[in-house]
Structure 1
Amino acid sequence: MKVVILSHSSAWEHIGGAELSILQTIRQWRELDPDVEISVVARGPSGLLQVELAKLGVPATTIEFDAWVLPQRITAPEDVFRTQRANLAAVKTIVKMLRMQQTDLVITNTIISPWAAIAAALAGVPHVWMVREFGDLDHGHQFQIGQAETFGDIARLSALVVANSTAVKRHLENWIDPGKISVAYPAIDVQRLESQSAHPLPIEVQSSGLPRVVMVGRLAESKGQWRLVRAVGELRRRGVELEVLFVGHGEAADKERLVDEAQSAGVSDLVTFTGPLENPFPVVRTADITVMASTNEAFGRSTLEYMLLGRAVIAPDVGGSAELLVDGRCGVLFDVSNPASLEDALLTYATDPLLRASHGAAAAKRARALLAGAFTTEVLIAQLTDVAASQVPRASIPHVVESWLDIPAAAQLHFDSLAAQAQLALNKSEEALALKEEALALKEAAFTVLEDQVARDRDSYTEKLRALAQDQSVQRRHMEDAQSILKRENAALSEELARRELDHASELERLRAEFRGSRTWRVGRVLLGPATAVKRALRSSRG
Structure 2
Amino acid sequence: MRGRSHVPFGAPPHQRLRRMPRRPRRIAMLSVHTSPLHQPGTGDAGGMNVYIVELARRLAAIDIEVEIFTRATTARLPPSVELAPGVLVRHVDAGPYEGLAKEDLPAQLCAFTHGVMQAWAGHRPGHYDLVHSHYWLSGHVGWLAAERWGVPLVHAMHTMAKVKNAALAAGDTPEPAARVIGEQQIVRAADRLIANTAEEAEELVRHYGAARELVAVVHPGVNLDRFRPADGRAAARARLGLPADALIPLFAGRIQPLKAPDILLHAIAHLLEEDPSLRERMVVPVVGGPSGSGLAKPEGLHKLAARLGICDVIRFRPPCAQDELADWYRAASVLVMPSYSESFGLVAIEAQACGTPVVAASVGGLPVAVRDGVSGTLIDGHDPADYARALRPFVREPGRADRMGAAAARHAQSFGWDTAAAATAEVYTEAMRERRRLRSGHG
Question: TM-score per shorter chain, which class?
Answer: 0.7 to 0.9
Partner of 2:188: 156
Cα offset, 1:24, TM superposition: 1.4
| Matches of 1:142 and 1:162, distance apart in 2 | 21
SS of aligned partner of 2:344: coil
In the alignment, is residue 384 of structure 1 matched against residue 384 of structure 2? no
Q: Does 1:93 align with 2:118?
A: yes
Tell me the SS of whatever aligns to 1:314: strand
Which amino acid is the alignment partner of residue 286 of structure 2?
F
Q: Distance in 1 between matches of 2:113 and 2:84?
A: 30
Query: What is the CA distance between 1:365 and its match in structure 2?
Result: 1.5
Q: Measure the CA separation in 2 of the matches of 1:353 and 1:52.
A: 47
Which amino acid is 2:261 matched to? Q
1:262 counterpart (305, 313, 316): 305
Letter in 2 for 1:61: R
Q: CA RMSD in A?
A: 3.3
How far is 1:291 from its partner?
Answer: 1.1
| Structure 1 letter corresponding to 2:272 | R
Which residue does 2:87 correspond to in 1? 58
AA at the equivalent of 1:239: D
Query: In the aligned structure 2, how far is the partner of 1:394 from the partner of 1:262?
Result: 61
Match of 1:183 among 199, 217, 238: 217
Q: 76, 83, 103: which one pairs with 2:108?
A: 83
Counterpart residue number, 1:306? 351
Partner secondary structure for residue 86 of structure 1: helix
Change over 3 Å in CA distance of 1:367–1:265 after alignment to 2: same
Partner of 2:21: none
1:431 corresponds in structure 2 to none
Do structure 1's residue 129 and structure 2's residue 155 form an aligned pair? yes
Determine helix, strand or coil for the equivalent of 1:122.
helix
- Among 46, 50, 55, which residue is 1:20 paired with? 50
Superposition deviation, residue 11 in structure 1: 5.3
Structure 1 residue 168 displacement after superposition: 1.9
Q: 1:211 aligns with which of 247, 250, 258?
A: 247
| Cα distance change on mapping 1:393 and 1:301 into 2, 3 Å | same
Distance 2:238 2:246 in 1: 21
List per-residue Cα deviations over 1:274-300 (Å, max 9, x = no partner): 211112111211111111121111110
The answer for the alignment partner of 2:368 in structure 1 is: 323
CA contact (8 A) 2:252 2:347 kept: yes
Query: Displacement of 1:207 after TM fit?
Result: 1.4
- Displacement of 1:265: 1.1
Equivalent-residue separation in structure 1 for 2:298 and 2:289 (angstroms)? 9
- Of 385, 395, 416, the residue aligned with 1:350 is 395
Check conservation: 1:10, 1:49, Cα contact below 8 A.
Answer: no
**TM-score where L is the length of structure 2:** 0.76
Deviation of 1:307 (Å): 1.2
Whole-Å Cα distance in 2 between the matches of residues 132 and 10 of structure 1? Answer: 15
The residue that corresponds to 1:106 in the other structure is 131
Aligned pairs for 1:111-510 within 5 A: 111-113=136-138, 114-135=140-161, 137-138=163-164, 142-143=175-176, 145=178, 147=180, 149-174=181-206, 175=208, 176-194=210-228, 204-207=240-243, 209-239=245-275, 241=278, 242-250=282-290, 254-278=297-321, 279-371=324-416, 376-390=420-434, 391-393=436-438
Hey, what does 1:7 align to over in structure 2?
31
* TM-superposed deviation, 1:178: 1.8
1:333 offset after TM fit, Å?
Answer: 1.0
The worse-fitting range, judged by mean Cα deviation, of 163-172 and 249-258 is 249-258
Question: 1 or 2, which has the higher helix percentage?
Answer: 1
Which structure 1 segments of 5+ residues have no match?
A: 396-543
Q: Are positions 1:38 and 2:63 aligned together?
A: no
Mapped contact 1:124–1:394 kept (Cα < 8 A): no
Identical residues among aligned pairs (%): 22
Equivalent residues of 2:80, 2:89 under 8 A apart:
no
- The size of the alignment, in residue pairs, is 383
Question: Which residue in 1 is equivalent to 2:17?
Answer: none
Q: Specify the SS of the correspondent of 2:262.
A: helix
Distance 2:238 2:78 in 1: 22
Higher mean C-alpha displacement, 42-51 vs 213-222: 42-51
1:324-370 per-position Cα deviation (integer Å, ceiling 9, x unaligned): 22222221112333222111111122222333322222222122124
126-135 or 251-260: bigger deviation: 251-260
Are the structure 2 counterparts of residues 32 and 83 from structure 1 closer, same or farther at C-alpha, using a change threshold of 3 Å? closer
AA partner of residue 69 (structure 2): V
- Unmatched segments (≥5 aa) in structure 2: 1-24, 41-45
